Structure 1
Amino acid sequence: MPIAFSKYHGLGNNFILIDNRHQAEPLLSQAEAIEWCDRNFGIGADGVIFLLPDTNSQESGQGNGHVMRIFNSDGSEPEMCGNGVRCLAKFMQDLEIKPIAADPTNGQPNPHYKLQTGAGLIGLQLDADGQITVDMGEPHLLAKEIPTTLVDAEEKAIAIDLEVAGQTWQVTTVSMGNPHCITFIDDVAKIDLAAIGPQFEHHSAFPQRINTEFIQVRDRNYVKMLVWERGAGATLACGTGACAVVVAGVLNNVCDRQCTVNLPGGDLRIHWSETTNHVMMTGPAVKVFTGLQADGIN
């Protein structure tokens, strides 16, 4: 049977979205997701996102009764994806899934969704200007939470020297439900991302591989970012990465808690709340096209 899909992008980070609410398991295998993501022989995407049912959260009143799962273009399954979850919120709107009503008295000025992800329950606010604000939750900083062997398990890896490709890089690690390694440099234009990115991703210090962000600080509330994503390679944007960058910037005293992160695909606005410790991410999500894939499943 043909499978209906929609393609969306968040700042050029692009995904195939599948309405998978009628069954608990993804309609595609990881091998099929690789084929669909192929930019020459498939639809072309950085990953495939499935909107699945979650009767447990629906019955408990936590969330809208939906789960997000994602397969990267290499078939791996990350815990979460910041740009992808914004695309999923827009997809849910287009499917006419009713959001939770706004409740200004409870800190919810706009309609919103709540989704279960591999990184936990995520809140998605549908802003009046069409942007989507995502409550990305609290960052995790202990080495065991990344995970990384750069420091002892109960320590934080902040401004630690790491040898990669014959060069010493000063890195900070942050988990936003998925692992990130951030390094601050003078000029992102000088980075050969295709050469250096895989060497960070597969470094022995990161037993579950790593997403890597190369950051040029323009001022305390504006930074430029290049990213090499675990399982996807060079992408135009990474939402969890942008959140991790601002956390790392604050920890290294190079940026403020409210900061714009400029990526090749555009800007994300990030706020790491000193009150709640939650990281909020605001950015767009855009539908590109819809279609039917005839040969996705045998």
Structure 2
Amino acid sequence: MNIVGLWPNQSKPETENLSLQLKHWFRSRQWEVVPKWQEGAREKVNFLISLGGDGTLLEAAREAAPLGIPVLGVNFGRLGFLCEIERDEVFVSLEKILREDFVVQERLMLEASLRGSGEGSFSTTVLNDVVFMRESSEGLITLQANLSGEPSVSYPADGLIVATPTGSTAYSLSAGGPVVSPDVEAIILTPLAAHSLSARPMVVSHGEEIEILLARGRTCDVTFDGQHHLVLHPGETICIRRSALKALLIRLGSRSFPRVVREKLRDRWHD
């Protein structure tokens, strides 16, 4: 049986209306619809439709990755760098998917874990980024980055972003980091308001194991894809490495990466 899953952003009321339309559309074509990604039905889903912005797509892709399920992103957000289609393209695009006229793109994911904590272990997988940020009451902090066990660079700054190529067009971009094609398997380190001219963004191999330590400062907030959160203390380390999982995104061939960059960043140099 053909089954499609829906992953709507519940905070956007307009996604409910499209969810209802999708249920009728698929059922008229003898497809079963799993409306809210229920337990027990996940393994049977052919593909998942994310209804929301990039944040919603990140959630859906992280959940679907362990099961090898591809995700189609429908943009209800403002920017929508990751989403493949806009709302008015949904049904035309779905006709292409049912004809199997699409490709599945693999995206690098990172595994982040906490070491040296007396409060137990923590590990999670991210598709976008791991963000280190000084607390509002804290002054300048210094974050040390070790690459494959060797001290590499020290960042006296307000914080640091460790991003995938997918995450290069998110917070890292606004902080002055490079735009990296999703076809490039690399990890990007971008400091936030660095207080040193030598503390520059870095692009390193996806094979590197990156250790981030709080070299100066009392505490540091750490967020993972904007979802999970913890406080990093001196003596603790966040270890970041390539995940064995890959996020799977459905691509229909109409939005090349250069086109997405041009449209989303409103670059008009070519006009």
Same fold (TM over 0.5): no
Greater Rg by CA: 2
